[in-house]
Amino acid sequence: MLWTWLLEVGSKGAVLSAAMLILALLLRRTSAAARHFVLFLGVCSLVAMPVLTPLAGYLATVYAPTAATFTVPAAFTSLTVTDGPVVDWRRAAAGVWAVIALLLIVRTAGAHILVARMAARARPCGTVPGAVVRISSEVGMPFTCGLFRPVILLPESAADWPEERRNVVLLHEAAHVMRRDALARFVAQIGCALHWFNPLAWVAAARMVIEQEHACDDWVIERGVRPSHYAEHLLEIAHYLHGRSMWRPAALAMANCSDLQTRLHSILRGGLRRSPLTRAEAVIAIAAVAALVTPLAAIRAQAGGAVSGILSDGNGVVANALVTLRGANQATYRTRTDAAGNYGFAQLTPGTYELRIAAPGFAESVMPAVTVDANRAVHLRSLLQVGEIREGLDIVAERPGGLAPVSVAQKRLRIGGNVQAARLIHQVRPEYPAAAKQAGIDGTVLLRAVIGTQGDVSHISVLDSPNPALAGAATKAVRQWRYTPTWLNGQPVEVETTIAINYKLSR
């Protein structure tokens, strides 16, 4: 379910973002390149988490038991319930997430397209290792762009720059090219789009971009540029930065004002580690992030279980049947089968539920113990039987004088629901046998019979009787009864009926 997936990915993304920020804070005495690499691994994990979460769930289900399937014989009775419209807020929330994520991705893609067209219109003015240098009248400050074919764009004013400033700028932007910072920033933007509701993801991505600039500043200083001169050039270039443009998300601006003060302080501060990322540091960082991401992706949210099923009568499906699910905590869920006979309940709290099925023309079916487990689905296939008919008739005679009533124990029988489709149209009243009347015997005769497709009564059997004579008289009379046929899906069908003939002796 999309909502469950979104809930898992969102919660794991929040934990992962917080862990990366804490880890970067603990590494404050290391180089900016090392902190950037840790944060970059974090944003990569954010992008991969939507795939890792269902993948881990799939691998877990390979060894898990399959969903339980039961076949439930059922019968129906008439029951009318009116359900109001239900708003699926989970689906609405998932839709909002998808729309906003898509808009953010489109915005990022549009910015890269805009910058690529801007770079194509600029005139070449040289190269640095791995990138082309161009001058454009559309930019006010130098920046690097391009995911796979990096381009360094310089403003028109770069022609009047001192040679030292020009060399410092190209050295800084060449560091971005060598480190593939544009691609890392693009990955961070995709991660923020997928986790737009998570503020920690935005903080982690912004912190990664800041560490990119610090790492490039360290690169320039490591190449012999005096920190004071570099800070002066950086401050001068920042004067050209003003306003906001649509292309900013796709550009690595050299003098971003949002963190300029921190960068100047870092550049002028002595005793900092400015070395690039070493292979040993990279291996340690990868191992640390993998040790966090792997178990995090494997954790499965305890999504509620599900119960679904399909109802049929042997010839076709049954639509618009009422299905009621009641839990041990008295929580009750109701739904109706669709045109294909399907129904379903999702996000159920694990436990044992009672399932009831009811629809016109059939007797009510009850399954008292449906076990629901977290992250598992129970599918029920219910074969529906036409309900039986209940008939009752009182035969009263005068009790002979001097006879006490004869008490006969009666068995408790469970009678099916009333079906309105069949109707009694001809009834012969049973006689009260003289022998039973003289003996003072009364009581109820229970008969079971089958109403045929023509409405005739056959296959009569005695379920219970206080006296054989009473049973014989009742059977003889019932055999002559006639009903209207019971119709199912446009066809006459046979249906069972239970008939109670009450013999009574008046005092």
CA 479 – CA 497 distance, rounded (Å): 12
What's residue 152's pLDDT? 92
| Backbone Cα Rg of the chain | 41
- Which of the two residues, 402 and 53, has the higher pLDDT score? 53
Choose between 392 and 165: higher pLDDT: 165
Question: Do the first three CATH levels of 308-385 and 389-506 match, i.e. the same topology?
Answer: no
Give residue 188's pLDDT band: very low, low, confident or very high (50, 70, 90). Answer: very high
d(CA 198, CA 24): 18
Band the pLDDT of 397: cuts 50, 70, 90. low
Q: Which of 204-208, 240-244, 288-292 has the highest mean pLDDT?
A: 204-208
Total residues belonging to the chain? 507
Model pLDDT, residue 60: 54
CA max distance for the chain: 136
Q: Which residue has the higher pLDDT, 426 or 421?
A: 426
Say what the pLDDT of residue 100 is: 93
Q: Which two tokens stand for residue 56?
A: 């881990």
Q: What is the pLDDT of residues 4-36, one digit of tens each?
A: 677 778 888 888 889 889 988 888 888 889 999
217-221 contacts at long range (C-beta below 8 A, 24 or more positions apart): 217/32, 217/172, 217/263, 217/266, 217/267, 218/31, 218/32, 218/33, 218/272, 218/274, 218/275, 218/276, 219/171, 219/172, 219/175, 219/274, 219/276, 220/168, 220/171, 220/172, 220/175, 221/267, 221/274
Residues 430-464 pLDDT 10s: 888 888 888 888 888 888 888 888 889 988 999 88
Q: Residues 38-59: pLDDT tens digits? A: 999 998 988 888 877 766 665 6
pLDDT band at residue 66 under the 50/70/90 scheme: very low
Topology, domain 389-506: TolA/TonB C-terminal domain (3.30.2420)
Mean pLDDT in residue range 371-377:
74
Does the pLDDT of residue 76 top 50, yes or no? no
Cβ atoms 20, 195 nearer than 8 A: no
Domain ranges of the chain: 2-298, 308-385, 389-506
Q: Does CATH place domain 308-385 in 2.30.30.140?
A: no
pTM of the model: 0.56
